Chains A and B, each alone.
Chain A
């Protein structure tokens, strides 16, 4: 799964218009990024990439780019 597809999947998960997220966004600035979204994110990464994200690392994520890095997806330059 490439970066673009992953960002689109995150858009859908957070009920944003496709193409909204670019990677630079602070998670705190996203209305729907809450404990429910965190669980959806873990499910998304597991389903698309077969990887279980570590809870401790996820708790430290600050930006959408941090989420991409956790999922092992290339972070946009």
Chain B
């Protein structure tokens, strides 16, 4: 296991973007029957998911999230030293979407761009990479983007995956700050898990097979219980924290049962544990920042909080981070309409509470 401490970097803001269209339990009932749809919702805690229309890509959500973040912070895109883009759903085989975002956001030629092909562990890996590389290049500002449009790579009639995954992208601003508290990371991998969570088709090995997500939920759950608690405890030790000293445990939002079970196993109280998936589903690498931006915007805007983040999934790959962040200048969510306009204007990221609350209402009414 990699254990890595990064000094001198902090998070300045987090924004997330969801596509406007929602699919609810009622929509699933039409495809899978009412009883199955209700049972899935009850077992997973997922009531609705936001899905892109066929012409939208992850980079569109990412661009909207990043614009809201940069506008909110008043950052000039040309002054960003590093862009780390975490995604498995690129617009093209090449170039990877980081370069499309470099252009569309107006980053400068001095910036380094790096794409990481990771899913549910991707936010922690991306945060580690962005923070460590920002220090390594002695830079000032980095932009971390994480997200997927998993709905584009699954069969909507496959009930083992379609009811679980939603689309989202998130943007995180990192800034060099000599007084920043340390960030402690633990990271691990096990390629033996590759067959159990995969989109085997659509790449160069099986070009004639449609790109459809396969997931063996039993293997995923067993892997998570095997590896994640140890990863989280190691991150706590590395930071010199205990679970009781953590303000918020933000696990990858795969399903409510998994989050609750892991939290109990780790001795985290329900009040410490963030559950923000009822209206979003599993949003891959965006799930952790989306949870921050949708469930904790007021809190993170108001004060400094100790967060324990942990992501785990495709690979197998897993990573945990102990970070102390806030008050954040920008924290909130935005929606992207089907015609590509932010349904909530980008500048409203400052009014994070408004957009986050409206998303929350949607969850409750589902």
Contacts and interface: CB of A to CB of B under 8 A. Distances in A.
Q: Please determine whether chains A and B interact with each other in the same assembly.
A: yes
A35 interface: yes
A49 B226 CA distance: 14
A54 interface: yes
Interface size class of A (residues with CB under 8 A): 10 to 19
B269 interface: no
A27 interface: no
A5 to B, nearest CB: 19
Contacts of B223: 55
Contacts of B40: 36
A55 B219 contact: yes
Contact of B221 (A42, A47, A59): A42
B39 A36 contact: yes
A55 B222 contact: yes
B138 interface: no
B302 interface: no
Interface of A: 35-36, 38-40, 42-43, 46-47, 52-55, 58-59
Interface of B: 39-40, 43-44, 160, 196, 216-219, 221-223, 225-226, 257-258, 261, 264-265
A-B residue pairs, 9 tightest by C-beta: A55-B219, A36-B43, A55-B222, A55-B218, A52-B225, A43-B261, A39-B221, A38-B218, A42-B221
12 contacts: A35-B218, A38-B218, A39-B221, A43-B221, A43-B257, A46-B225, A46-B265, A47-B264, A47-B265, A55-B196, A55-B216, A55-B222
